[in-house]
Amino acid sequence: MGDIEKMLAYATSKWHKVGYSMGKDRLGPDKLDCSSFVFYSLIAGGFLEKNSYIGNTEDLYRLKGKIFEEIYDYKDVARGDIFIRGIQGQSYGKNGHTGIFTRKGEIIHCNATNKTVTINNEASYIYYYIACQRSPYERYFRPVDNPKISKKLSIIKIKNENWRGICLSKVYVREKPSTSARPVAFYQKNDVIYYDSVYQADGYRWISYIGKSGKRRYVAYRDMKGRQWIKF
């Protein structure tokens, strides 16, 4: 199953650690370009198989409908989404660019300007790289599970429990009990979460409640190794 956090963990591990090249050495380990950086991140996150072809921005465009869902408005961009600059069919080489959102308003990407992997946001020239506005020149995509390599999410309901938990750190609220599910909100350290049930799925225990939208939401409170982010 694809995992956005694993994808981003790989991406951030390359921050200022590799050089930039569009040549034969773009496949690493010492140098990458924008698209090979994104392909390797997708592989690390489990969205692509380990032996997948490392392509360019045009190959990334072709992942729509396979492991990409297109996001049609910048306001809907979320952590883990992919941006691609350049008109599809014409984005080869210097005509295109790609990277990953760490949040709306912040990207991590391997770029020629800095000759390495950098993180850029509103305070550090993000608008030099992207317009933050969808157009034929700039499109957004969300990685989703590849049915060839993902397994059906097994969800086990542990119990009903009307109780509350106190956050020990920042935690994300998700649409499904999976770390690859899209975050829809978050709680900060010391925030209180009221919940009505507990589940086990995707290697985590989750507390769950009905959100203001009327939809069920999930928050991971510990992993199966005992590391815990919420106390009760």
Measured CA to CA in angstroms, residue 4 lies from 26, 81, 86, 93, 120 at distances of 23, 9, 24, 27, 19
Cβ 222 vs Cβ 204: under 8 Å: yes
Q: Which pLDDT belongs to residue 183?
A: 85
What percentage of the chain exceeds 70 in pLDDT? 96
49, 43 in Cβ contact below 8 A? yes
pLDDT of residue 230: 97
Residue of 53, 51, 75, 49 whose CA lies nearest to 62: 53
Helix ranges restricted to H, the chain: 4-13, 34-44, 57-61, 126-129
- What average pLDDT does this structure show over 184-188? 93
Q: How large is the average pLDDT for residues 152-172?
A: 90
Q: In this predicted model, what pLDDT tens digit does every residue of 2-25 receive, in sequence order?
A: 889 999 999 999 999 999 999 989
CA–CA dist 11, 125 (Å, integer): 19
DSSP H or E stretch at residue 208: strand 204-210
What are the angstrom distances between the C-alpha of 145 and each of 10, 69, 150, 230? Answer: 18, 10, 6, 28
* Arithmetic mean of pLDDT, 28-35: 95
Is the predicted pLDDT of residue 50 greater than 90, yes or no?
A: no
Closest-CA residue to 119 (of 103, 137, 140, 95) = 103
Average pLDDT, the chain: 93
Per the CB < 8 A criterion, the answer to whether 223 and 178 are in contact is no
At 202 the pLDDT is 83
Q: pTM of the entire structure?
A: 0.67
Residue 153's pLDDT band, with cuts at 50, 70 and 90, is low
Q: What is the pLDDT of residue 182?
A: 76
CA pair distance 15, 146, nearest whole angstrom: 27
pLDDT for 68 beyond 70: yes
pLDDT in tens, 93-148: 899 999 999 999 999 999 999 999 999 999 999 999 999 999 999 999 999 877 66
At 192-207, the pLDDT tens digits run 999 999 999 888 999 9
**Tokens 């998700």 correspond to what residue?**
174
Residue 150 has pLDDT above 60, yes or no: no
pLDDT of residue 147: 63
Q: Compute the average pLDDT of residues 204-219.
A: 95
